[in-house]
Amino acid sequence: MKINNFIYVLLAAYLATFLRLFINNNFIISIIGSFMVGFFISKRLSNSIKKILFSGFFSCFTSFSGFIYFLYKIFNQGDWIRFIIFFNLIIIVNLFTMFCGFWISRKIT
């Protein structure tokens, strides 16, 4: 990877982290990120742009740790039914949102 691309990945990660501070809701961030990933997956992008977007921006914006921390708090409360419902709901909603982003991107182009 060229040094310029590495710097762009770092800048994209910084921007994503900065945006994450303004949206202080893991579920909303997850929905927005899933839609955007679905939207950009359908585009023909160069490898360097894919690395910048997916490794830099989206990996920091939709961090998996936010999702896990949310589920961990529910798990610690001992509410198994709520834990299972939220776990499945988050995965299903994010997959559906990603598909919608993919579908809308295909309709636009």
Say what the pLDDT of residue 1 is. Answer: 61
70, containing H or E segment: helix 64-76
Using left for φ > 0, alpha for ψ between -120 and 50, and beta otherwise, residue 84 falls in alpha
pLDDT digits (tens, 9 = 90+) for 40-71: 998 888 888 888 998 889 888 887 777 788 88
Q: What is the pTM of this model?
A: 0.83
Using left for φ > 0, alpha for ψ between -120 and 50, and beta otherwise, residue 78 falls in left
- Domain ranges across the chain: 3-108
How many whole angstroms separate alpha carbon 48 and alpha carbon 42? 16
pLDDT digits (tens, 9 = 90+) for 67-94: 788 888 899 999 899 999 988 998 899 9
How many whole angstroms separate alpha carbon 100 and alpha carbon 106? 10
